[in-house]
Amino acid sequence: MEAAISTLVTQFKTFAGKDGSGSTLSRDEFHSLVTSQLPNYVKNASDPGEIDRLMGSLDQNNDGELTFTEFWALVGKLACKQAGFSH
């Protein structure tokens, strides 16, 4: 499990580090992460409007950036769906 957790952290940092703050995902960073890393888990991942709606639902403090904790909430929902558990 630890290797899988580390992969998720490393990938988050890779995309978060592209522009601005290295510890949050900007809109563009989130778009490239979802389209390249979560193409099967996020329905309509190729639709920018869908990704904006997704980001809006996660960005709890509405600062246009996703913290790791906000991002982790998305991954949890996707994992729950993938596992067939009620969320």
List residues binding its own copies (CB under 8 A): 1-9, 11-13, 23, 33, 37-41, 67-69, 72-73, 75-76, 78-80, 82-83, 85, 87
Q: What's the distance, Cα to Cα, between the start and end of the chain in Å?
A: 21
The CB-of-25 to its own copies minimum distance in angstroms stands at 12
The CB-of-42 to its own copies minimum distance in angstroms stands at 10
**CA-wise closest residue to 66 among 46, 48, 81, 51:** 51
The CB-of-27 to its own copies minimum distance in angstroms stands at 18
- Helices and strands of the chain, counted as H and E runs: 4, 0
